[in-house]
């Protein structure tokens, strides 16, 4: 059905909404607490070389959308549109652990697939439950990433740094933002100091987005201890705020169509230029917030459990040629996105056989 193609675009665009974790660490004063302070401990990750960890992952999303205009450029003119879409998926995430290239580092190969994605909801009051084949796109791409990390959890290098060519790279950046918290190693980066209940620290990270820098600021607090599957863990509460930013694909979009139209006409013409000048593709993301709770096993140096939640709002403006008539048409879309994820350590195989 036509509406599925538009919904597919909605699900892909929603990938830009999730805040990414921060990496640069600085100290912050510990908040007042009445909890008894245990002996201070330096929290550190101690992945055993040549081992493998498996986390059970549950991801849930709820997307509310409103769109007006003419969406013939993406295969449907059925606007205005009001919808609520829920997606859910459960999978296993694998961490293969190898010695890092330098002392004090570890190589993590993180892999996961999201094959059984359930999509339900309503579109203009009608039930909406397409299969992934109907959508023609996976809303959550497989994860296959390699990281070099140190004992504090700092990412020294990552295979996600390379975005490929300009056009494809722009969309990979959207996808990376959407799955940043899922594809990166679980857990916060710890400060290089001992911690006890009530202690806090802050992280700040600025990354280069497709249309400029994107800054995330996070605060982490050790709030107490809790038993998880018979193991005492430190409970760490985290709050991450991401500044508002805009992703402007207009020039990339125009360059792509310039090549296509010039090829179809043999060479560039004034008519082609007039068409190109009308193309537009912009996404504006409002200030976003993510929260997380991490249950960290200080003895084993591993995350036993983690829960994350993020919420944000975005708007999109799109103008492109109608698929049937070639006439330039456009639409505007507003979206609210809530995403929750839970990670539970299911097994540790040591060493790899």
pLDDT of residue 263: 53
Residue ranges of domains in the chain: 2-349
CA atoms within 13 A of residue 286's CA, in its CB half-sphere: 11
- The top-scoring range by mean pLDDT among 267-276, 291-300, 328-337 is 291-300
SS (H, E, C) 100-147: CCCCCEEEEEEEECCCCCEEEEEECCEECCCCHHHHCCCCCCCEEEEE
pLDDT of residue 188: 92
pLDDT of residue 272: 67
Neighbour count for residue 190 (Cβ, 10 Å): 21
Q: Is the pLDDT of residue 233 over 80?
A: yes
Q: Is the pLDDT of residue 194 over 50?
A: yes
Give the model's confidence band at 7: pLDDT under 50 very low, under 70 low, under 90 confident, else very high: low
pLDDT of residue 225: 95
| Mean of pLDDT values over 202-213 | 77
pLDDT of residue 270: 55
Q: Is the pLDDT of residue 6 over 60?
A: no
What 3-state class would DSSP assign to 225? strand
Q: Which stretch of DSSP H or E encloses residue 254?
A: helix 250-265
pTM score, whole prediction: 0.76
pLDDT of residue 221: 97
Give the model's confidence band at 251: pLDDT under 50 very low, under 70 low, under 90 confident, else very high: confident
What 3-state class would DSSP assign to 54? strand
40 class by beta-carbon count within 10 Å (0-12 exposed, 13-18 middle, 19+ buried): exposed
pLDDT of residue 173: 32
Question: Which pair of structure tokens corresponds to residue 194?
Answer: 């001992």
CB 222 within 8 A of CB 196: yes
Q: Is the pLDDT of residue 17 over 50?
A: no
- The span from the CA of 60 to the CA of 75, in Å, is 27
């Amino acid at each position: 059905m036509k509406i599925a193609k538009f919904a597919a675009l909605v699900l892909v665009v929603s990938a830009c909404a999730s805040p990414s974790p921060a990496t640069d660490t600085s100290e912050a004063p510990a908040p007042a607490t009445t909890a008894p302070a245990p002996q201070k401990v330096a929290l550190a990750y101690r992945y055993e070389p040549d081992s493998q960890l498996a986390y059970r992952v549950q991801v849930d999303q709820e997307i509310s959308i409103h769109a007006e205009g003419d969406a013939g450029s993406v295969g449907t003119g059925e606007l205005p549109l009001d919808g609520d879409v829920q997606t859910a998926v459960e999978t296993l995430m694998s961490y293969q652990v190898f010695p890092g290239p330098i002392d004090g580092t570890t190589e993590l190969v993180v892999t996961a697939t999201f094959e059984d994605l359930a999509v339900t909801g309503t579109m203009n009051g009608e039930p909406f439950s397409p299969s992934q084949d109907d959508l023609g796109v996976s809303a959550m791409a497989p994860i296959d990433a390699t990281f070099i990390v140190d004992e504090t959890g700092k990412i020294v290098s990552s295979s996600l740094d390379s975005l490929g060519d300009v056009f494809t790279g722009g969309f990979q950046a959207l996808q990376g933002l959407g799955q940043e918290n899922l594809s990166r190693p679980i857990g916060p980066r710890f400060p290089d100091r001992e911690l006890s209940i009530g202690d806090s620290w802050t992280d700040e990270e600025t990354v280069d987005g497709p249309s400029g820098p994107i800054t995330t600021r996070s605060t982490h607090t050790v709030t107490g201890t809790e038993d998880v599957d018979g193991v005492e863990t430190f409970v760490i509460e985290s709050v991450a705020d991401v500044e508002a930013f805009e992703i402007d694909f207009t020039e990339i979009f125009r360059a792509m169509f310039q090549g296509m139209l010039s090829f179809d006409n043999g060479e560039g013409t004034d008519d082609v230029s007039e068409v190109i000048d009308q193309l537009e593709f912009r996404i504006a993301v409002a200030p976003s917030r993510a929260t997380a709770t991490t249950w960290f096993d200080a003895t084993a140096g591993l995350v036993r459990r983690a829960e994350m939640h993020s919420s944000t709002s975005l708007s999109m403006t799109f103008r492109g040629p109608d698929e049937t008539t070639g006439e330039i048409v456009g639409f505007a879309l507003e979206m609210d996105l809530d995403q929750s994820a839970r990670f539970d350590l299911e097994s540790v195989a040591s060493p790899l056989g």
